Chain A
Amino acid sequence: MNKYLSLRNRSGTVSFLLEKKAIATFLVLVCVFIILFLGGLSVGSTMLHPIEVIKHLFGLGSGEYTFIIETLRLPRMIVASLVGAALGVSGLILQGMIRNPLGSPDIIGITGGASFAAVLFINYFSNTFSIKWLPLAAIAGAGVMSLLIYFLAWKRGVTPVRLVLIGIGMAAAASAMTTMMLVLGDNYATSQAYLWLTGSVYGANWQHVYALLPWVLIFIPLALLFSKTANAQELGDSVASGLGVSVQRHRFGLLLISVALAGAAVAFAGAIGFVGLIAPHIARKLVGRSFGSLLPVTALIGGMIVFLADVVARTAFLPLDLPAGIFVSGIGAPFFIYLLYRNRHQ
């Protein structure tokens, strides 16, 4: 029996391999995800019985928890999951592209650009414009920053190494500018901005869900279409071009997807770090290296990381509602170092 399931259309423009084992892993993960999600919906300052939550979701509930579940918890959990999925996939793409396990949107400056734009907005425009425009500012920041990095890295084509180095440099510049805004801003704006920089899904509502959903639903499947070239690029530029991949064009495409995902996620949840680093690593542990099976698993795991972090952040120190970003980096970062240490000989 064949270990792989290959999906392709007749012309071969779209094709990816799925390992059958990966499909099983994926299904198990979906179940785990659903169970944890229900658990997350039940805990909080008002504890609900999970059965009540399930009843409510199927429309059988008594209706007394409608506000808690539908207005407070559900949109927040969905936004957290979407953000995590987007960041995870963005990191996966970047790691494959630069062929290094340390790639992620927060390290190569995408998040830095978004942060600078967001803090600029909070400091100078939050009086004139509604705070609703903040995500737009952040996305614009991420986009402009990525273009800048791409063009500065261009020298008869873009190599991954140059992209990363320029990204790191630009990230440093962006963080310096952000710090300057923080220092010069008034106290209130500064603590607002700082909260944003830590990353939080506090106060997420259905509008956020509807605004974020299209990005995730468009760009993650789009990334799947690129899976053939992503696999090839991981073998190196010369091998990839030998296999008939037009490296530069696809690299730009992949980068675009990665930026769009990271930008959208950061816009709604602030500069949550480390998801883009950790999620692909865990996924690789579970299903191996094929991009086609890694992608959905990474998205699930990324989503799980962020919503679990948020559940912990809002319940562990009741009545305090801490930013989820603290827990993502506080637990995720040491775990990440442990992962790298475990894999040191690979």
Chain B
Amino acid sequence: MNPLFPHTTSKWLGLALGFCLFAASFVASIAFGQTRIAFGTVVDAFFHYDQHSTEHLIITTTRLSRAVIAAVIGASLAIAGALMQALTRNPLASPSIFGINAGAVFFVVMAITFFSMHSLSQYMWIAFIGAGVSAIMVYMLGSLGRDGLSPIKIVLAGSAITALFVSLTQGLLVVSEQNLQAVLFWLAGSVAGRSLEMLEPVMPFMAAAWGIALLIGRSVNILTSGDDIAKGLGQRTVAVKMLMAVVIVILAGGSVAIGGSIGFIGLIVPHIVRGLVGVDYRWIIPFCAFIGASLLLLSDVAARFIIMPQEVPIGVMTALIGTPFFIYIARRGFNKE
């Protein structure tokens, strides 16, 4: 399939369009909800803040932080997914399918239950460890046996590890029931009710990971042509892979620490982006950031309306959008990449 934006000029144009989409989704996320706010007021709230306006108060206290967090998580998950698909050469790779979300969630729930940790900076480190542990486990489990790391084996390994961590999490929550209600909404994935300060401890790591992801696009391109070719071209493949793994763990773990388990963004977005710009990771990564952020922002907007006045947890929303997509890729098979 030919990409929608084949040339460099059109890719820059596409990136600008991506940014516009992102900006529009961002504003929509601030404007729509239980209280609908006019676009003019949204703009005013930033430039002419009025202390006495309820709408301005809603925007600055809840809507803005929610939109920023959704954008950060969406972009991070999409980039993590793209790198994972490149690293494992598996179109179904994504943090949720490969058990990384579940691992991070389990470690955080364990920290809450046994060590009564409740600050986000602690969650963050715990989630990094959880994401790292499950990533290593899935990678090892998937590469056992004679034929090495085959796509189907690593997907199965991912879901086995997911099942493992999910059932352990369930066990913990059944034993300590008072924690269940507290962590349940977070388990389902949510970007609501978080202040911008919560982003502070995670943000430097995320930003660094984004930066690295943008810079290693070229090396990733070489790596995707196969280990042997990459080595032949003088690449230190192990170093590149390790770097990618670290970036993936930081992005996925950080996202879980802030928003809980939000799946499928990392699966869908890289596929959409490849349809737009082709297989060049120098372009895929920035496009993933914008499209991922937009998709999560829009899902979050939709999540507020479906069963008003309650909200669908955003993790459920993305799963419902993502499953048909997953099934489409699975039916198409692995070989036509």
Give A contacts to B, CB under 8 Å.
Answer: 100, 102-103, 106-107, 152-153, 155, 161-162, 164-166, 168-173, 175-177, 179-180, 182-184, 187, 190-191, 194-195, 197-198, 273-274, 277, 322-323, 325-326, 329-330, 333, 336-337, 340-341, 343-346
What residue in chain A is nearest B156 (Cβ atoms)?
Answer: A102
Question: Given A172-B97, A179-B313, is A100 in contact with B153 using a C-beta cutoff of 8 Å?
Answer: yes
CB-contacts of B144-191 with A (<8 A): 144-146, 152-153, 155-157, 159-160, 163-164, 166-168, 170-171, 173-175, 177, 180-181, 184-185, 187-188
* Contact across chains for A162 and B320 when beta carbons are under 8 A apart: no
What residue in chain B is nearest A177 (Cβ atoms)?
Answer: B316
A153: B residues at CB distance < 8 A: 331
What residue in chain B is nearest A100 (Cβ atoms)?
Answer: B156
* A4 to B: closest C-beta gap in Å: 27
Additional A-B contact list (12), CB under 8 Å, known A336-B160, A337-B141: A102-B156, A152-B331, A162-B331, A165-B152, A169-B326, A191-B177, A194-B180, A198-B170, A274-B164, A323-B171, A330-B168, A343-B144
A106: B residues at CB distance < 8 A: 163
Task: Specify which of B141, B175, B264 is in contact with A322 (CB 8 Å cutoff).
Answer: B175
Q: Is the interface of B mostly helix, strand, loop or mixed?
A: helix
* Contact across chains for B167 and A273 when beta carbons are under 8 A apart: yes
Q: Is B92 an interface residue (CB 8 A)?
A: yes
* A330 to B330 Cα, complex, angstroms: 31
* B196 to A: closest C-beta gap in Å: 24
* A181 to B: closest C-beta gap in Å: 10
* A106 to B159 Cα, complex, angstroms: 10
* B307 to A: closest C-beta gap in Å: 8
Task: Specify which of B153, B156, B163 is in contact with A274 (CB 8 Å cutoff).
Answer: B163
* Contact across chains for A152 and B327 when beta carbons are under 8 A apart: yes
* Contact across chains for B159 and A107 when beta carbons are under 8 A apart: yes
* Contact across chains for A107 and B160 when beta carbons are under 8 A apart: yes
* Contact across chains for B174 and A179 when beta carbons are under 8 A apart: no
Question: Given A179-B187, A190-B184, A326-B174, is A172 in contact with B168 using a C-beta cutoff of 8 Å?
Answer: no
Q: Is B95 an interface residue (CB 8 A)?
A: no
* Contact across chains for B181 and A155 when beta carbons are under 8 A apart: no
Give B contacts to A, CB under 8 Å.
Answer: 92, 96-97, 137, 140-141, 144-146, 152-153, 155-157, 159-160, 163-164, 166-168, 170-171, 173-175, 177, 180-181, 184-185, 187-188, 263-264, 307, 310, 312-313, 315-316, 319-320, 322-323, 326-327, 330-331, 333
* Contact across chains for A329 and B164 when beta carbons are under 8 A apart: yes
* A313 to B: closest C-beta gap in Å: 10
Which 5 A-B pairs have CB atoms at the shortest separation, nearest pair first?
A: A176-B319, A165-B330, A326-B171, A329-B167, A173-B323
Question: Given A102-B157, A173-B320, A180-B312, is A166 in contact with B330 using a C-beta cutoff of 8 Å?
Answer: yes
Return 10 A-B CB contacts under 8 Å, by A number: A103-B156, A153-B331, A172-B323, A173-B323, A182-B184, A194-B180, A195-B174, A273-B163, A333-B164, A333-B168
Question: Given A152-B327, A180-B312, A184-B310, is A171 in contact with B164 using a C-beta cutoff of 8 Å?
Answer: no
What residue in chain B is nearest A112 (Cβ atoms)?
Answer: B163
A330: B residues at CB distance < 8 A: 168, 171
* A103 to B153 Cα, complex, angstroms: 10
A107: B residues at CB distance < 8 A: 156, 159-160, 163
Question: Given A165-B330, A166-B330, A198-B171, is A172 in contact with B263 using a C-beta cutoff of 8 Å?
Answer: yes
* B104 to A: closest C-beta gap in Å: 16
* B302 to A: closest C-beta gap in Å: 14
The winner among B163, B177, B187 for most chain A CB atoms within 10 A is B163
